[in-house]
Amino acid sequence: MLSTWPTPMEAAPRLATAIGLHPDDLWIKRDDLTGLGGGGNKVRKLEWLVADALRQGADTLVTTGGPQSNHARLTAAAGARAGLAVALVMPGSGRSDLPTGNLLLDALFGARIIWAEDGPGPAALSAQAEQACAVLRDEGAVPYRVPFGGSNALGARGYREAGEEILAQQPGVQHVVSALGSGATMAGLVAALGPERVVGVDVGALPDPARVAAALASELTGRELTADQLHVRGDQVGQGYGVLYEPVLDAITTVAATQGVILDPVYTGRAAAGLVASILDGAIRPGERTVLLHTGGLPGLFGHQEAAHRIGQALRAQP
Ligand SMILES: Cc1ncc(COP(=O)(O)O)c(C=O)c1O
């Protein structure tokens, strides 16, 4: 067990009112409070993946992700918890400044960072990770490859469980809104809740996340699901993955000011902005029970220079 389950389901009446719902319509599922390593959605996937690694007799977890990857950070923490070494293959040279946010925590958890100058695409990184595994094997280690974002059918089981938890905590739920990155979070939710109730807000990590999420959900359930059966919003990507987007900054500010809950600019801020947009365009209406899934990502806020700069501007503008 990498955390304590179930995670809390908190009422969000002040946020609900601020964004046009009735006060008792909106709940936040606090998967940012999955104890391990600063918390977040990847912990649920890693429970399955690390158990598989141990079953296979592995001694080293190998995965990929950017320097501000929450997945990389939580793989590093899970390795520390399970007594496994961790190698993180990241794009870039690592020669820049002081580590911040997630990268700082990767170092704290004792992960080895392998800088893959070829990056930054997931495919190029994946090839570098395979190479790293080959080198580890030559050195006598037993590597276990954790997929990009922890997203394969095994990792997605963690979010089928989360979907079941949500149903137990909010039996009448009509909408569950979540960030959609590498796909397994949405896939698992769809497996538990069906495609109608789950809204995935694309963060721009993959070219076709709906297809990936549908394929993972199909694999998980054994029933064929197509991308067009899923509700995916693509309107919060802005200029691309990781780039600060104005409606996202607004959503982060509103959630913090009404609920004292912190979101991040890459994932959960986009989910909240997608929720706001869904209310504005009538896809979610007042009186409909809605859950915003908080998938974590807090360290990413401290690793995002532009977000820090913009939030700091508000501070400087104070009288
Ligand atoms: C904080 C946070 N939320 C949401 C996601 C998206 O989850 P998934 O990759 O399963 O689509 C990620 C993925 O990295 C994440 O780090």
The ranges assigned to domains in the chain are 9-40+152-316, 42-150
| Beta carbon of 70 within 6 Å of any ligand 1 atom | yes
Question: Closest ligand 1 atom to the C-alpha of 185?
Answer: 10
For residue range 282-317, what is the model confidence (pLDDT) as tens digits? 999 999 999 999 999 999 999 999 999 999 888 888
Q: Which CATH class is domain 9-40+152-316?
A: alpha beta
| Beta carbon of 183 within 6 Å of any ligand 1 atom | yes
Which DSSP string do the residues of 227-259 spell out, in sequence order?
A: GGGSEEE-TT-TTSTT---HHHHHHHHHHHHHH
Question: Closest ligand 1 atom to the C-alpha of 32?
Answer: 1
**69 in active site:** yes
Q: Please state, in angstroms and rounded to a whole number, the distance separating the CA atoms of residues 185 and 182.
A: 8
Q: Identify the active-site residue in 3, 69, 218, 278.
A: 69
| Beta carbon of 181 within 6 Å of any ligand 1 atom | yes
pLDDT at 53 over 70: yes
| Beta carbon of 267 within 6 Å of any ligand 1 atom | yes
Q: Where are the alpha helices (DSSP H) in the chain?
A: 13-18, 42-55, 70-82, 101-108, 122-138, 153-169, 184-193, 209-221, 246-259, 268-280, 298-302, 305-316
The pTM for the full model equals 0.97
CATH number of 42-150: 3.40.50.1100
Residue 87: what pLDDT?
A: 98
Task: Confirm if 195 and 225 have CB atoms less than 8 A apart.
Answer: yes
Residue 134: what pLDDT?
A: 98
Q: Tell me whether domains 9-40+152-316 and 42-150 share a fold.
A: yes
Q: Whose CA is nearest to atom 7 of ligand 1?
A: 181
Pick from 313, 318, 272: nearest CA to 294 = 272
Gyration radius of the chain over CA positions = 19
The mean-pLDDT minimum among 27-31, 49-53, 73-77, 90-94 falls in 90-94
State the chain's mean pLDDT as an integer.
96
Instruction: Show the tokens assigned to 111.
Output: 């992960």
